[in-house]
Structure 1
């Protein structure tokens, strides 16, 4: 027998390796032709259960081993919800995380939880994020790793402070009162979110979470602050920052959102040249005005210079309508002419560098002069190529001021109104509204306004209040990200990013961020541990002061910054080490740290027990400029390495139409309603597993749509899966794999082949989870069930399962494989559907009472299941079946005898391994072909009946990596069988209609 020969082959080239999927394979094509027996999937369909008790078949009803199980195919409504909660209770969901932390494991898997913001109810964005993380954690735990996952919450910050104060409707509260109210608000939001996460089946020790308002956390954060300060990365400076008048605090770039349709009153205005650049003066030109353009007219009073591009071309042009001489960039003159609706005649052309030495009169401030200065940030994309420069109100402008020692006086207060420095006409006017109106009026009155128009452009807004921000200078604390940028980029190169396309966004965000303002003028946050000298205003901050404050925070929490007297915050021993004067010389600072610094330091507070680098951070794409970046910068500054080995960046949850969810639009999908249903009948109770399936099945690397269509599809997919699981459980009734399992070597070859396919399935599904691709795991699962199980194996084995003797080798062989399939499929869905997986495990045979799936490991595939030659034998038979089924379209294969002619050789020996005798109704080959009888021969008989259906084909055998290759031809003749249908098994193998076939006769007689 060849199979015995080839079993010694060390390695056989898998036929799967020669194609990308089943669809192109012989086996799939063979199965794509249906017969009445091939369609049977559910427990009763196609089985030999009789229709009438008095019929011949009814006599044998009780001798047929039909599937039996109390596992429900469908659970809906309150029954479904009750069952999920019961599973959570019975199977110890609450204790699972602690259990796996206590067991011995060779490797740890650390997924560091990015803290959700504690300012509202749980939403589908939370569900997407938390379930995605939980799927990976459960997979790693099943694989035997010790999972490190500590959920956390971001608890400080302005939104919580504003909501807490807004609910109270009070003002004038002191810092401690504000903090108390904000803390209570955050605690309420945390409790609601935590309860939801637990209901979704998220595995964690929910009594051991981290909170950014916890004293121990704050102390770890201050340690990071101190180390960064001592290395010179943190400094105080007076420079322009994004300032929110609506919340009266500085903002970081990550706290901005850009309104793409903001409307500004843009103006073109002139700055008359009081001193001509020497090159222009030598041309004899007089009364030349520099033309500038700005979208922020309110900044004109703060002008300190006009900038030009050194290597660009500039022209003095003459207006045809007024003869006014204007200086503009040469390449902008055409667009300016169109704007002014007049011709512009060039009367002199110069390079930018030839403008050096020019001095302009300020248009609205008499006697003030401003220089023409070179600057590389000038562009020709829009405007005149000459840029009005107000160092107090622009980042690039400030760079010019630093280089040329210009004044950076601020004329705008914390409410966004002009101060007395702007003059009596402007003082107290809001710069973005009436202040802008007044400046434009002043420009008109002095004859400098050339053109005004509306400009729709992208403008930064405070992401909390949705109000525009301004740029204004103030004394703030900063992180010098410019000095960290290169190190951060280098560290990022060693990090795996999924999807890889997100890496570019991470790098470009780092590039754009030259400094990070980390001080906030609020009460609800971690105080910046700095003291200021009463007279000089000089800050006192060093490792001694910060270490002492950190210890106080650890013991008492950061409220002590306001509760304790300065003498306790700054004791004599600390003053002595700091070489500072008496404590009475100092006052405590009033600023708090940016919450992005709070959360960005979480690695220092949470990852101490692990490798100090998480295996992965998993967050939405908004964290590219947020937590991903703040975590990277703080970690690189302190430890010269990233805090994560990999990043997974997922999209946002959107409506089924792809729209952003908004309460005002009424299109928000509430995860609580998804699980528990709503008052409206159109909102059924789907349960937690449907929500989890939705997450898993989605392409999380893009925007993730949710709505009735997606949820109904997820529910239907789970029902189909339950149907398959019910079939498996029903056919395992009374089977105990611990004592009745058949050794793979003794199994039918088709059963061994299924173990081989199960092993391949387990490898594919494991790879999918490893790649954070739960969607691929689902597709692999559904393909395996639809093709390998329902369309192929289940159809073939039903006769053996239902009609062979209960304890026969063939039936036990089959049940052994069904139990392995049930176990493998159940474990493979467990990370996604933990409730269903545990429910199946409660019904499944082979384990003791009280055992749970999640404590028993991952899919147990064996290398023994990969047998050389076995694959070729079964696939060779399937190739023949392909030809046979294609010759009888629409007809029942069970009504044919099949003659197979194969010349002596490898294929013949392979077929012989499936059928030892030349003719058989009960061989493995007959079972696989699902026909009445198979006759094996070297040539087809000459006396075939006229209604015989002939076909032929060939099958390429490829063994030992190509060492053994043989393209074997075969011919087949399908002949309508002369046998009649057995009243018990319904196969065409009986001699007469009222007589059992030999197999059934033997089975029934043994039973009696």
Structure 2
């Protein structure tokens, strides 16, 4: 007889190798055909909402690992919520306006925008943006991210633009929008104003100069022999100097040195003395800053006054305590200049070129005049010292080139008027990590008014008209009409029609007695676009709600989307657009370095999916502490792939041993399960509860670790290991075999659901092979709940204690194997010498030989001495010997009953009985 035919070996259509790069796209096609997203929504309709509002990625270029991390974590959250009692729609979005798309067309596509109208150029921008959206959508879907992909929100869509105009109008109606001339971040490389969110800091080498401003009217406090000493690292701003600021409460010293009389803050005297090498310096007089107010100095190389003013912004952090003030080139400078009635002089044009308001420098790029400024100062005898420093300096986040402060007429959204409301909204929001609250609170507390105008073509126009006298026309009527036009035609109509054609029929204004109007040519900051999405998406779509339950983006969005969304929502709704905010760090290479083409350390999501599959990429996301910066590299991904292989093998083993199991007819009742089977359900309960807690608190690394450990320790190293003899050798309906299968079915069903948010492709594949399932996808089920286990504490205590003893027995077996006493553990016979407590434990535990996977176990009597060759542990001593008898040709146990039955001489009595009774028909 072929005894192999009498063994119930595992059988499953679930392959050992997932072949994910090939199998996942087919599965995703199936999801599309099933319309799985809509089926999930239909199934959960009527449940409480959970809305994670998608922060729109910028539609330009292929997705990178930061995109993958972001979208995959969102998918974890949404999938979990939809399986735990919530209606959790996910509407992806795209940010589609702005300079990068203009640049892509002019540089990559070689489009000459000067040879076409703005309207025609914008049409090309829209076409390019939509191509990018389609490309990124395909890549995001390949990640396995489930969402309403064919009905997303896109900031260039007519409906979105119409709602954005309403947001602008509502803010204007409440007095939060105004136009003013003040210094803003200006990017000469982009020829546009920038918001704080568009600024990043890089090191820059700059000239550091100390300059003397001679007093021409000392007001009886200083003489005309005295001079104020200023320090600046922006020499190019000196042509715009109109004043010097001193702190009213600080003390200032008049210092005699080198035949000159110079004024500096007393608190900085020693530092300045060292820097300027004033070896003979003597303080001749000290004066309070408030006494210096209104003194007049002379500009060092222009025939122009420089007024001394009192300013609270002056500090002793660096410099001289006498601050060079150019109202056209700095926020503090502008504010104090307004207070003292100074002009807002800004002799720099849009391209960063000096104008004729800076005699001697006109036509030159601002950063190129520093040397000439120094030469003119030296010629005038005003240059006290020139050196160079490398310091952190603001740069345009798109072009990576330096920006300047430049006073121009811009549109602003007031922060000052709603600052306290913003801070209150921050306090009411739940922040994860908790430091997010402090970070945004400080940003709101310290930020100036938001410059929302840009001097570009590709964006949503600022819907303002001007009368013949230059007065701004911005009314409810005009806003409503423009919004309606945009909803019907899109914002390009602003550039296709004349101002009169964009106004309501019959519109008149006292500011245009002849009926002649012009229109604003600036567009809105792209942060105003995405910052309006709570109105254009959350309030407009029937499947969503406002405020959203969660915003989740990278930590750079505290100054970006989190901030702009908060501002617009509080301004028009009085509340934040989100109940909670979660953030993640950046993705770095394996050594913690920023990825860059020059370093050759870039990992591309598409490449990972082609080589390993999306589920490996998703498992990597779960395996990192995403709230900090995360590392990824080929070796790291290989380690993750190895973990996936172990998880997959666990699934395959469980599926293979359920090939003849029908949960409806073969399950053992919960109350009839005993011993190790009940213990495994206790461990499953613990895992289920832990993973629920981990998902709820967005701790996906804990989900990963807990799930992996359960598969490799609780299952592979224990329960699955001890089950094999029973599953393979006993007859199909043996009670112990069905008990194992019952527990395995419960475990596998629960594991598949618990990991489905992280490994959706693999979970669905398992689900297809799982017996007794009626739902077409695991995505259409709910998460498992813990199963009541009666005497939970007693059962757990017993088996936890046993597992400690088992670990010691396994160590003894390993030593015996290394010493060649035995080969496989089934060749061994154990004699156990337990302490009193462990003896009681072992007596209460059935089937010790199966639990230790040996052929024989004997518990020594209390009077027996522990032999010298036994291995002694804390709770037990173990003697491992070679088992006596013959090896059964079917179960491989060593037994003295082998050959007892004549018709099966190579089998032990148990196997012979099983074969005779259940496999007599086998040849």
Please indicate the TM-score interval, normalised by the length of the shorter structure: over 0.9
For residues 239-287 of structure 1, give each alpha carbon's deviation from its aligned partner in whole angstroms, at most 9, with x where no partner exists. Answer: 1111122222111111112222x11222211111112253445xxxx50
Q: CA deviation at 1:890?
A: 2.0
2:912 to 998, 1001, 1008: 1001
* 2:3 paired residue number: 60
The verdict on how the C-alpha distance between 1:817 and 1:241 changes in structure 2, with shifts beyond 3 A counting, is same
Which aligned pairs between 1:376-387 and structure 2 lie closer than 5 A?
A: 376-387=312-323
CA distance in 1, matches of 2:813, 2:353: 88
CA contact (8 A) 1:650 1:702 kept: yes
CA contact (8 A) 1:747 1:810 kept: no
Any gaps of 5 or more consecutive residues in structure 2?
817-821, 900-904
1:544 to 471, 474, 477: 477
| Residue 318 (str. 1) matches residue 256 (str. 2) | yes
CA contact (8 A) 1:897 1:934 kept: yes
SS of the residue aligned with 2:212? strand
SS of the residue aligned with 1:645? strand
CA contact (8 A) 2:872 2:878 kept: yes
CA distance in 1, matches of 2:912, 2:451: 88
CA contact (8 A) 1:898 1:935 kept: yes
* 1:134 paired residue number: 75
| Residue 940 (str. 1) matches residue 861 (str. 2) | yes
SS of the residue aligned with 2:336? helix
* 1:557 paired residue number: 490
TM-score normalised by structure 2 residue count:
0.92
1:359 to 291, 296, 300: 296
For residues 397-456 of structure 1, give each alpha carbon's deviation from its aligned partner in whole angstroms, at most 9, with x where no partner exists. Answer: 011012222211322222222222223x222222221x3333333222222122212121
CA distance in 2, matches of 1:852, 1:174: 52
2:110 to 149, 153, 168: 168
* 2:355 paired residue number: 419
Which aligned pairs between 1:388-403 and structure 2 lie closer than 5 A?
A: 388-403=324-339
The verdict on how the C-alpha distance between 1:381 and 1:972 changes in structure 2, with shifts beyond 3 A counting, is closer
SS of the residue aligned with 2:665? helix
Q: CA deviation at 1:71?
A: 2.1
CA distance in 1, matches of 2:838, 2:604: 62
CA distance in 1, matches of 2:804, 2:640: 35
* 1:715 paired residue number: 641
CA distance in 2, matches of 1:714, 1:272: 70
For residues 309-336 of structure 1, give each alpha carbon's deviation from its aligned partner in whole angstroms, at most 9, with x where no partner exists. Answer: 22222111111xx311111112322222
564-573 or 487-496, which deviates more: 564-573
231-240 or 605-614, which deviates more: 605-614
2:444 to 510, 514, 518: 510
* 2:902 paired residue number: none
CA distance in 1, matches of 2:434, 2:8: 54
CA contact (8 A) 2:214 2:227 kept: yes
CA distance in 1, matches of 2:465, 2:456: 17
CA contact (8 A) 2:549 2:580 kept: yes
| Residue 99 (str. 1) matches residue 39 (str. 2) | yes
Q: CA deviation at 1:664?
A: 4.2
Which aligned pairs between 1:113-512 and structure 2 lie closer than 5 A?
A: 113-166=54-107, 167-172=109-114, 173-260=116-203, 262-280=204-222, 287-319=225-257, 322-343=258-279, 344-366=281-303, 368-423=304-359, 425-433=360-368, 435-512=369-446
CA contact (8 A) 1:950 1:971 kept: yes
The verdict on how the C-alpha distance between 1:654 and 1:944 changes in structure 2, with shifts beyond 3 A counting, is closer
CA distance in 1, matches of 2:32, 2:353: 60
SS of the residue aligned with 2:88? strand
* 2:799 paired residue number: 874
* 1:605 paired residue number: 536
| Residue 927 (str. 1) matches residue 845 (str. 2) | no
Count of equivalent residues: 899
CA distance in 1, matches of 2:789, 2:863: 44
SS of the residue aligned with 1:737? coil
The verdict on how the C-alpha distance between 1:485 and 1:945 changes in structure 2, with shifts beyond 3 A counting, is closer
Q: CA deviation at 1:586?
A: 1.7
CA RMSD of aligned residues (A): 2.6
* 1:9 paired residue number: none
CA contact (8 A) 1:948 1:975 kept: no
SS of the residue aligned with 1:183? helix
Which aligned pairs between 1:5-44 and structure 2 lie closer than 5 A?
A: none
* 1:680 paired residue number: none
* 2:753 paired residue number: 827
Q: CA deviation at 1:339?
A: 2.5
CA distance in 2, matches of 1:137, 1:801: 38
| Residue 987 (str. 1) matches residue 923 (str. 2) | no
Any gaps of 5 or more consecutive residues in structure 1?
1-57, 677-684, 915-922, 955-969
CA contact (8 A) 1:940 1:973 kept: no
* 2:819 paired residue number: none
The verdict on how the C-alpha distance between 1:946 and 1:311 changes in structure 2, with shifts beyond 3 A counting, is closer
CA contact (8 A) 2:471 2:511 kept: no
SS of the residue aligned with 2:149? coil
